[in-house]
Amino acid sequence: MSKILIIGAGGQIGTELVLELRKMKGNDTVIAADLSDECPVLIKNGPYVQMDVLDREFVRDYIISQQIDEVYLLAALLSATAEKHPDFAWKLNMEGLFSVLDLAKEKHIKKIFWPSSIAVFGATTPKVNTPQKTVMEPSTVYGISKQSGEGWCSYYFDNYGVDVRSIRYPGLISYKSLPGGGTTDYSVDIFYQAKLKSQYSCFLKEDTLLPMMFMEDAIRATIELMEAPSEKVKVRTSYNLAGISFTPAQIAQKIKLHLPDFEMSYTPDFRQKIADTWPGSIDDSQATKDWGWKERYTLESLVEVMLENVDVSLLDKDV
Ligand code: NAD
Ligand code: SER
């Protein structure tokens, strides 16, 4: 059984990925790693190691000594936080990637998953059904780091045979852990505030159409891509992936069907400028063709599951 290391395991994606991979492959084979000295409560059912991905020597020694086969590298600063700390965002988002790519180049790692984002696209990209291959002129440090990372993944595959796989995730919506500083975070915050106060002040304008996805679909996509035979993985930059596209007004309207008193107001902030450069919808036909991707959640089913499961006490908890 392959030994798997998930770096950035305590975050929005990591928490759910760890739980799902442990369910499939056994608790002991999936090692969670993050900055905190304490293992996050939700992933206490298996091994945990405190790790700073920027500590190249530690990462190297750990991966070699523990004979890790696969690495999922999730540690990063997301779009909104990255705009506040551009130098550090560039450092974190790129250096961790090089550490694992180099270990794979030296044959210490067999397979890598590294996520990209819709942030690789920019204002000059076609907004509707954005193609897999198109103009990419990102305007955020986050988008620039993801676009560069994609280029390096493809370079390491072409020149050193590194089996690195990637998805351009849309905005991800989940209830098990909170999002970590992205432009799409409103689509999660809204459920907490709807349940808590029946009102939400949205930091994006009501008609801002963005591609989104429920976490269960995103985790399934990630694992399907990682389990696909190597020859089926034709894109070695990163795959477009689509779920559901909606605006703040559209999701508010669906929530209102369950909570009729819910009211939404709009106070756009600096994140609006970021969102304005991103696509409204994504063409993911290449992922469907190559490894059979198909989303399952609709806006209606997502809203239902979120309202049922969002636990407002999570807002005060360290998970
Ligand atoms: P998150 O912010 O929720 O989690 C990131 C985790 O990385 C955190 O637990 C954090 O403590 C950890 N981390 C930060 N610095 C670290 C370091 N130096 N060493 C080790 N761990 C460190 O992020 P997420 O939403 O889970 O995203 C994970 C990845 O997926 C990122 O690369 C992100 O760009 C990408 N992505 C996420 C979304 C989304 O909507 N969540 C969309 C597109 C792409
Ligand atoms: N959800 C992410 C963000 O808003 C997209 O990469 O940063």
pLDDT in tens, 133-161: 999 999 999 999 999 999 999 999 999 99
Q: What is the pLDDT of residue 319?
A: 42
Pocket test for ligand 2, best of 185, 204, 238, 272 (most atoms within 8 A of CB): 185
Nearest 5°: CA angle at 260, between 258 and 263?
115
Sole residue written with tokens 């450092």: 91
Q: What is the pLDDT of residue 225?
A: 98
Q: Check pLDDT > 80 for residue 251.
A: yes
Told to judge if 186 belongs to the known catalytic residues of this protein, a careful annotator would answer: no
**CB 288: neighbour CB atoms within 10 A?**
15
pLDDT tens digits, one per residue of 39-81: 999 999 999 999 999 999 999 999 999 999 999 999 999 999 9
Q: Where are the domains of the chain?
A: 4-168, 171-212+243-316
Ligand nearest to the CA of 83: 2
- Distance between CA 202 and CA 205 in Å, rounded? 7
Contact criterion met (CB below 8 Å) for 18 and 46: yes
Q: Check pLDDT > 90 for residue 107.
A: yes
Tell whether ligand 2 has an atom less than 6 A from the beta carbon of residue 147: no
Q: Do the domains at 4-168 and 171-212+243-316 have one common CATH topology?
A: yes
How many residues are there in the chain? 319
Q: What is the pLDDT of residue 317?
A: 67
Rg (CA), the chain: 19
Nearest to 29 by CA among 37, 40, 18: 18
pTM of structure? 0.97
Taking the centre of ligand 1 as the mean of its atom positions, its distance from the CA of residue 73, in whole angstroms, is 9
Ligand nearest to the CA of 11: 1
The chain-wide mean pLDDT, for the chain, equals: 97
| Amino acid at the residue 87 | D
| Amino acid at the residue 297 | Y
According to the CATH classification, is domain 4-168 in 1.20.1300.10?
no
| Amino acid at the residue 151 | G
Ligand nearest to the CA of 8: 1
Nearest to 220 by CA among 16, 2, 66: 16
Phi, psi of 296 (to 5 degrees): -115, -35
pLDDT tens digits, one per residue of 79-102: 999 999 999 999 999 999 999 999
Tell whether ligand 2 has an atom less than 6 A from the beta carbon of residue 183: yes
pLDDT tens digits, one per residue of 169-205: 999 999 999 998 999 999 999 999 999 999 999 999 9
Q: Check pLDDT > 80 for residue 318.
A: no
Indicate the pLDDT class of residue 314, thresholds 50, 70 and 90.
confident
How far is C-alpha 39 from the chain's CA centre? 20
User: Which residue, by CA, sits nearest to atom 2 of ligand 2?
Assistant: 182
According to the CATH classification, is domain 171-212+243-316 in 3.40.50.720?
yes
Pocket test for ligand 2, best of 12, 116, 142, 273 (most atoms within 8 A of CB): 142
Q: Which atom of ligand 2 is nearest to the CA of 274?
A: 4
Q: Which residues contact 273 (CB under 8 A, 6 or more apart)?
A: none
- Distance between CA 280 and CA 129 in Å, rounded? 7
Pocket test for ligand 1, best of 12, 94, 210 (most atoms within 8 A of CB): 12
Tell whether ligand 2 has an atom less than 6 A from the beta carbon of residue 171: yes
